[in-house]
Homo-oligomer: A and B are copies of this chain.
Amino acid sequence: MSESTGLRARKKERTRDAIGDAAVSLFLQRGFDRVSVNDIAAAAEISKPTLFRYFPTKEDLVLYRFVDHQGEAARVVRDRQSGIKPVTALHRHFRAGLDRYDPVTGLSDHPEVVAFHRLVFTTPSLAGRLTRYQLDDEEALADALGEGIQARLLAAQVLAVQRVLARTNWQKIADGRTAHDVHPEAVADADQAFNQLP
């Protein structure tokens, strides 16, 4: 088994995580625009230019956790077993995320995750930037689905569905319920939503 990543790559990854974690932690403590990039750089013990070498903008410091899932939908479609319809593959993948309470499904009641989602949804510049990421994601998914306008339409609908499902789940949890409690409804919602897709 090769888990040898090379010194350079390993340290870069660690630096990236350190910056991202420091940023999110500070943002959760004090709010997005009460924290300067200087604060983050200081907390992560790196210099400001280094910070911007890892993250193009301040917003990306928050959203890099989503970026890591960038293109995931497209990948699911591409890697599906033959004979399985794209929508089915996406449905199963979302369902699996639900079952392991993956934060991207909105179905996580870890306090940090909940706070993080509130941060994103209630900070306009972050929500804005997030939709831009989702557009990229949509495009990739459309490409994976095929060529014409139908592929684009389907891609848009799938991602819209996932967005709504995730927000719905998050909302219920933000209202104080546990992820475990919400799980059955989340599964039912997902089944209904995906099944009425073309």
Residues of A whose CB lies within 8 Å of any CB of B are 7, 10-11, 45-47
- How many copies the complex holds: the figure is 2
Sample 5 A-B pairs with CB under 8 A, ordered by A number.
A7-B45, A7-B46, A7-B47, A10-B45, A11-B45
A5 to chain B, nearest CB (A): 11
A51 to chain B, nearest CB (A): 12
What residues of chain B lie closer than 8 Å to A10, measured between beta carbons? 45
A99 to chain B, nearest CB (A): 36
Question: Given the complex of chains A and B, what is the CA–CA distance between A175 and B46 in angstroms?
Answer: 48
In the complex, the chain B residue whose C-beta lies closest to that of A11 is: B45
Question: Given the complex of chains A and B, what is the CA–CA distance between A47 and B45 in angstroms?
Answer: 21
A68 to chain B, nearest CB (A): 23
A3 to chain B, nearest CB (A): 13
What residues of chain B lie closer than 8 Å to A45, measured between beta carbons? 7, 10-11
Question: Given the complex of chains A and B, what is the CA–CA distance between A80 and B46 in angstroms?
Answer: 41
A8 to chain B, nearest CB (A): 9
What residues of chain B lie closer than 8 Å to A7, measured between beta carbons? 45-47
What residues of chain B lie closer than 8 Å to A46, measured between beta carbons? 7
What residues of chain B lie closer than 8 Å to A47, measured between beta carbons? 7
Question: Given the complex of chains A and B, what is the CA–CA distance between A45 and B10 in angstroms?
Answer: 10
Report which residue of A7, A10, A11, A46 has the largest number of chain B beta carbons within 10 angstroms of its beta carbon. Answer: A7
Question: Given the complex of chains A and B, what is the CA–CA distance between A45 and B11 in angstroms?
Answer: 9
Question: Given the complex of chains A and B, what is the CA–CA distance between A47 and B10 in angstroms?
Answer: 13
